[in-house]
Amino acid sequence: MRFTHESLTQRVCFVPGEAPAAVRDEVRRLGATRVMVIAAAAEADLARQVTVDVPVVLHHNEAVMHVPAETAERARAAATAHRVDALVTVGGGSTTGLAKAIALTSGIPIVAVPTTYAGSEATSVWGLTEGARKMTGVDARVLPRSIVYDATVTLSLPVAMSVASGLNALAHCVDSMWAPRTDPVDQALAGEGIRALTAGLPSVVADPAGLEGREQMLYGAYLSAVAFSSAGSGLHHKICHVLGGTYDLPHAQTHAVVLPYVLAFNTPAAPEAERRIADAFGTASAIEGLQRLRQTVGAPSALRHHGFNEADIDAAANAILDVVPASNPRLVTAHRVRRLLRAAWEGADPLTMDDRPRKAWTQQSVVPPDPAIRDGHAGP
């Protein structure tokens, strides 16, 4: 066994029902006296409640999906003008992403209070969209110093959005099994993340007002993000970054739709990862476990329902080819990406998108090996 794993330095506080006190304490630990609170307009009232005991000099409510560069510049200018020395975010990935854009150029520390399961709070990954291109990178300055997880602040997240956000977290776990920098630690974290999310998500759907399921979701989302931050972006995330940044598709729903197609595409060439994922789901095959979960919670099913046009498939496929990780377990060609995107656009059975026939997941069979696979890659 030979690998190098780097752990991130971060405080993680699980404090059910005690977010305001925990945020106050984390801000004090930083020695901050001029705090900028970032939240989307819809969560502005919640943000004020969470930061009631914090020395706030600015409430900033312009959080936009995919963090447009111009939005980031306005937020940076506001932080400079108010001489901000700490950022508190209350919201999902877009909100945390905006704070990261500020920290990227200023080094101002972040205390994150997540209200979704996006996981951005536990990664050193930043993203900005300029024009129709989404840029991402890794920088230690953007990693929040502290995370305050309080399941009560997620109670206002609608069930449908909880499902999409939870499956987004699950995508972090799956991609971490074969991402460019993956190692056994990442894979162990991802496996436990899958178990927690698989337990928590049906509970949230069945009992939206209950806290136990939402706590499991926050726990799973944290594990998934830590694994993803270390392992890097695999094929799934590269596809979704292109779709989200270029076509302005909703982040969580896009991840939720694309995930089964990438899983079905890669697992024939990654039997060890397939076994780990299946074990985490507790099913005979990875795709069976994912599809059962998706069916149970009513997952988003097709890109055409979320603003992606059939006419854009070819252009999107070409853009994706430019960013495919060289380490992906299965060879990615233009033809294969087009088939994957078309299947995701239609909402087709993911096991029918390849040229070779395979049994549907509902027959509870393990995905058969691809006879064309040689040395970890499939033939042309």
pLDDT digits (tens, 9 = 90+) for 116-152: 999 999 999 899 988 778 888 889 999 999 999 999 9
- Break the chain down into helix, strand, coil percent, rounded to 5: 55, 10, 35
SS3 141: helix
pLDDT of residue 355: 55
Mean pLDDT within 2-7: 86
Residue 283 Ramachandran class (φ > 0 left, ψ -120 to 50 alpha, else beta): beta
The enclosing H or E element of 56 equals strand 56-60
Lowest mean pLDDT among 74-78, 118-122, 132-136, 177-181: 132-136
pLDDT of residue 36: 98
Domains and CATH numbers, the chain: 11-154 (3.40.50.1970), 159-363 (1.20.1090.10)
Average pLDDT, the chain: 91
Mean pLDDT within 327-335: 96
Cα–Cα separations (whole angstroms), residue 168 to 158, 248, 254: 15, 16, 8
**Measured distance CA(367)–CA(274) in Å, rounded:** 9
pLDDT at 364 over 70: no
The burial class, CB within 10 Å (0-12 / 13-18 / 19+), for 164 is buried
What does the DSSP assignment read for 341-366? HHHHHHT--GGGSSSS----GGG--P
pLDDT of residue 7: 85
Q: Using 50, 70 and 90 to split pLDDT, how confident is the model at 305?
A: very high
pLDDT at 106 over 60: yes
pLDDT at 159 over 50: yes
pLDDT of residue 290: 98
| Amino acid present at 357 | P
Percentage of the residues of the chain whose pLDDT score is greater than 90: 85
Mean pLDDT within 151-155: 96
pLDDT of residue 131: 79
Sign for the CA dihedral angle at 162, 172, 170, 144 comes to negative
Q: Using 50, 70 and 90 to split pLDDT, how confident is the model at 311?
A: very high
pLDDT of residue 255: 97
Instruction: Tell me the whole-structure pTM to 2 decimals.
Output: 0.89
pLDDT of residue 366: 33
| Contact present, 13 and 22 (Cβ < 8 Å) | yes
Cα–Cα separations (whole angstroms), residue 103 to 7, 110, 137: 20, 8, 13
Residue 240, token pair as written in the block: 């979704």
Percentage of the residues of the chain whose pLDDT score is greater than 70: 93
Lowest mean pLDDT among 2-6, 97-101, 230-234: 2-6
pLDDT at 319 over 80: yes
Phi, psi of 349 (to 5 degrees): -60, 125
pLDDT of residue 374: 25
Mean pLDDT within 237-260: 94
Looking at mean pLDDT, say which of 60-69, 314-323, 360-369 comes out highest.
314-323
| Contact present, 69 and 130 (Cβ < 8 Å) | yes
Q: Using 50, 70 and 90 to split pLDDT, how confident is the model at 375?
A: very low
| Amino acid present at 231 | A
Q: Using 50, 70 and 90 to split pLDDT, how confident is the model at 363?
A: very low
